[in-house]
Amino acid sequence: METGLAHPIYEPLRRFIEARDGRWEPGLERLNRLAEQRGVRTEAGSPLRFVAPDGAAARYGGYELRVFETGCVETRPESLHDLFNALAWLAYPLTKARLNAMHVREIPKENGRRGRLRDLLTLLDEGGAIVCCPDEELLRLVREHRWIELFWERRAQVAATMHVHVLGHAVLEQALRPWPGITCKAVLVPTDCDADEAASHWLSALPAAATPAAAAALPVLGMPGWHPENEGRAFYDDRRYFRTPVAGTMT
C-alpha cells in the first residue's frame, strides 16, 4: 500500500497522509482534524465530518442530501474507496462541495431516475481529473484523442506544462495497482491555476442539459513518468487503452 502511494497520481494527497513506521494511518479522528483545520464545508455551510456508517442517510433522503445538510460523510475506515473519497474532500474541497450541491439540486427533478447531468457528476466524482495546461494545442490533442502526438511527440511539453490532478476516488484506488487502461473523465482548464477553484468554476458554468460528453476522456497513465513502460512509443500504440475516437463522440 505505502509503496503504491509513491506514484505521482497521489502527490496532491500526500500532505494529508500520516505515516508511522512506514504505514499509512488515516483514521477518522485524523481525517476530521484535517477537515477542521482546512475549514472544509458543504455549500449549505455545514462543517464536513467523516463518520462511520450508521444508516442515518435514509432519514435525509439519501447520501448526498445528508452530506449537504449535515456535513456527515459516511466513511468506512477499512475501505480504501471511502478513504480516498475523504482525501479527495481534503485536497479538492470546493470541487467536492460543488459536486455535492449539484447532486442535491438535481435529485428532486428526477422522479427517482438519475439524469444525464448527474451521470456526469458521478463520473467526475468517481473517476474525474482536472487538467491545468496553458497550452491550448495540448488540450486540443486530448479532446481529439491524438495520444501518440500528445504523449510521445510532444512529451517534453506535456511534462513541462500539463498538470493532471486526479480527484476521482475510484481511480485513486485503482492506481494502487497501475495498469495502462486507467482512464479519467477530465475537466480541461486552459491555464495554469488553482485546480480546485478552476474545476469548481467549470462545474458552475455547466448547462442544465450537460452530459458525460462535456468532460474529455484521458488515459492518465500516459502521462510521462506515470507508468514504467511509457518510456517507449509502443506503449501508446496499444489501442485497447489509447483509443481513437468513435465518429460523433469527440469531446
> For residue range 18-51, what is the model confidence (pLDDT) as tens digits?
655 545 666 899 999 999 999 999 999 999 999 9
How many Å apart are CA 2 and CA 41, to the nearest integer? Answer: 29
Residue 217 carries which side chain, given as an amino acid letter?
A
CA distances (Å), origin 184, targets 54, 111, 227, 241: 31, 29, 15, 12
Answer yes or no: are the C-beta atoms of 184 and 220 closer than 8 Å.
yes
How many Å apart are CA 58 and CA 55, to the nearest integer? Answer: 6
Between helix 93-106 and helix 80-91 the angle, nearest 10°, is 110
Continuous segment of H or E residues that includes residue 35: helix 28-38
**Structural domain boundaries of the chain?**
4-114, 124-237
pLDDT in tens, 115-160: 999 999 999 999 999 999 999 999 999 999 999 999 999 999 999 9
pTM of the predicted protein model: 0.92
Average pLDDT over every residue of 171-189 = 95
User: CB pairs under 8 A, 24+ apart, for 49-56?
Assistant: 49/73, 50/75, 50/86, 51/75, 52/28, 52/76, 52/77
Provide the phi-psi class of 248: left if phi over 0, else alpha when psi is between -120 and 50, else beta: left
Beta strand spans in the chain (E): 19-20, 23-24, 49-51, 72-74, 128-132, 163-166, 183-189, 216-219
C-alpha cell at 229: 513502460
Q: What is the pLDDT of residue 23?
A: 56
